[in-house]
Structure 1
Amino acid sequence: MSESTVDTNGRETTAEALRVGVVGGGYIGTVVGGEFDEHEDARVVALVDIDEDVLAETGAELGVDADSRYTDYGAMLDAESLDAVLIGTPHTLHYDQILAAMERDLHVLCDKPLTTDLDDARDLVERDAARDEILMVGYQRHFFEAFRRARDTWVEGDREPCWITAEVSQDWVTRFEGTWRRNPDLSGGGYLYDTGSHLLDGVLWSTGLTPEAVSASMQFVDDEERVDGRANVTVRFTNGATASFSLSGETPCMREHVRMWDEQGAIAMNSQDWEPSEYVEIDDTSGEYRPFLDRQNRETKVDAFVESVRTGEQPPATALDGLRVTAVTEAAYESARGDGSFVAVDPDDVALD
């Protein structure tokens, strides 16, 4: 461990602490930025947001000096000596902001989704493979013990799911009315591109399956049919498995349920009100088993990101994970805005091998 020092705000950090610039002073910037601020091997040294009130409030909360608060992203990158950036901005801004950070050889922790454009996602995967710095996507189910156990069964073990059902619901439509999440020029879509992105990623990551085609129907909340409030998505995989996703942003509270079946039984995961998922193993002979999960003391995104930067090891959620989600999401919107027919997914985009 490096020798510790105390910064000007009285926080103890290591002498070689990761210098982080936070991009966007909203929820992600505040919460995940706060995790950087509290980490002994990292410190937030700069902040950018286009809203000066947010900039002042979040800057004070994160302990960023007034002269290191910016309203222009490029100006922050040019003026500050940074090791990494945290990107917590509207979805459609991610690609350009990641690209600017890559051009300056910075490590990047970007909130989901990676991008809202398939070609952009492909480009970032290609660029990421050619450089030494870390690009991590903020999919937190990779840190939930339930999804890690599922991955141990399906990816690391000798079993393979054949039938999957997954659903998520919350009061998204009314809660975010008038915000950027309901503006498709900033969000890239609707509920599927927002909370739904986590559900798609959780299934794709924990099963390791390769999607080959996607069909969807959606109920849109805008006349241009760009912002979905509800969606039903079916994914066919190359091994013959299918997954049915049901998403509603029009319920009074949050619930998430996932079931993954094979010929031996199933894994079931349930969550409510954004708590880490419960985990149940269903066996065809012995019934249900609920192992103890420590759902409180889990690794954080920042813990994993700092460790990846330190070791050079692959982060828990990679650019390829982000590309896989974008490929399925874009195919779902194409299907829903058409006649609901299956839209093929390019295996070169989504295969893990």
Structure 2
Amino acid sequence: MRDANEQPLRIGIVGLGYIGTTVGGQFHRHSDATVRALCDLDSDRLLETGAEFDVPADRRYTEYATMLEDATLDAVLVGTPHTLHYEQVVAALERECHVYCDKPLATDLEHARDLTERAERSQQTLMVGYQRHLQTAFRTARERFAETEPEWITASITQGWIDDSMDTWRLDPELSGGGFLYDTGSHVLDGVLWTTGLEPESVTASMDFHDDDERVDSRTHLDVRFENGASGTFSLHGDAPAVREHIHCWDDDGAVYIEGTQWGPRDVVQIDSDAGEYEPYIDFRTEQSRADAFLESVRSGAEPPATARDALRVTALTEAAYEASRTGDRVEIDPDG
């Protein structure tokens, strides 16, 4: 990937949970990158991940600002709780570092707008962790709607998210920004918006909550109207026994179904107007990893697969959904303000 005279990209990781160690591991194993510094509040995680990624003790930090100041970095992987993303991404960009940020980019609409503006005027790459943009099933479906727009969409996902998240920051709204909708649900919203290219116009919502303050949703149902007149329903169930996902997008010529279980690759089926089914061949071996895609964008200067503007659309819809649930009203969606 890189010119013989180029050095591997020097990566700093803040947050050593699932994303920090999974995507961080991709960078550690990549010939075009080196994990140079780590940051986390948990000393045990720092010790364990430092040993795994060959990061010496003097480049393991508990303060993010200190890591940015002391370590010589080209890029930062932000894998921290959701509400921390905004300030950490801003700090990295102001240091002229490229950024890979886990989803959601921000849990505040003004923050999402600001990061989008910063990214679009910056020379640095800002890629968001919506990995469905790299998955062949979703890319195949996106090609199907390159010339036409779907008119009716149903999307659902189930997961034992509440049980999985017990005793973690994900059930603390000060860190998570919300509940299942801002976590796994964010991938579903993004998958639909990116695959179809549709712009959401308004939303109504009903939610069940895990907490007494009604900030951490466990189940959500959304009715979304799109600018082209299409309608979509989203059913997100975070208190179910297993992971299953179904996205069905219909137009006058038929439909595309994207379906799967657990966290493996998704299947895609194309349906024609006579109800005939065609399942295109998908070679999962050709899919890029998140590290591959990020490094390619940095080296080439090309737009990353999942941009800040993609993430802004998701945050705008998500924030409108929470407002709609609180008020009982249909709420307009305005990403650009």
TM-score tier (shorter): over 0.9
Q: Pairwise mapping of residues 186-205 of structure 1 onto structure 2 (< 5 A)? A: 186-205=175-194
Answering whether residue 283 of structure 2 is matched by residue 294 of structure 1, we say yes
Partner of 2:79: 88
Q: Pairwise mapping of residues 225-240 of structure 1 onto structure 2 (< 5 A)? A: 225-240=214-229
Match of 1:141 among 127, 132, 150: 132
Q: Pairwise mapping of residues 1-353 of structure 1 onto structure 2 (< 5 A)? A: 16-154=7-145, 156=146, 158-285=147-274, 287-339=276-328, 341-346=329-334, 348=336
- How far off is 1:322 after superposition? 0.6
- How far off is 1:2 after superposition? 5.0
Query: Could you give the per-residue CA deviations for residues 277-326 of structure 1, whole angstroms, max 9, x where no partner exists?
Result: 10000001260001111124411111010000001000000000010000
23-32 vs 282-291, which moves further? 282-291
C-alpha contact (below 8 Å) 1:267/1:279 kept by paired residues: yes
RMSD across aligned positions (CA): 1.3
Do the aligned partners of residues 226 and 125 (structure 1) sit closer, same or farther apart at CA in structure 2, a change above 3 Å counting?
Answer: same
C-alpha contact (below 8 Å) 1:232/1:247 kept by paired residues: yes
- How far off is 1:271 after superposition? 1.1
C-alpha contact (below 8 Å) 2:50/2:57 kept by paired residues: yes
Could you tell me how far apart the structure 2 residues matched to 1:346 and 1:229 are? 25
Q: Secondary structure at the match of 2:208?
A: strand
C-alpha contact (below 8 Å) 2:113/2:336 kept by paired residues: no
Matched residue count:
337
C-alpha contact (below 8 Å) 1:259/1:267 kept by paired residues: yes
Query: Could you give the per-residue CA deviations for residues 130-180 of structure 1, whole angstroms, max 9, x where no partner exists?
Result: 1111000010100111110111111x2x22100000000110011111110
Could you tell me how far apart the structure 2 residues matched to 1:63 and 1:174 are? 33
TM-score, normalised on structure 2? 0.98
Please list every run of 5 or more consecutive structure 2 residues that lacks an aligned counterpart in the other structure: none
Could you tell me how far apart the structure 1 residues matched to 2:159 and 2:274 are? 35
Could you tell me how far apart the structure 2 residues matched to 1:234 and 1:95 are? 28
Q: Secondary structure at the match of 2:336?
A: helix
Could you tell me how far apart the structure 1 residues matched to 2:190 and 2:335 are? 17
C-alpha contact (below 8 Å) 2:178/2:216 kept by paired residues: yes
Structure 1 ranges of 4+ moved more than 2 A: 1-4
Could you tell me how far apart the structure 1 residues matched to 2:294 and 2:181 are? 26
Identity value in percent:
57
Q: Secondary structure at the match of 1:99?
A: helix
67-76 vs 173-182, which moves further? 173-182
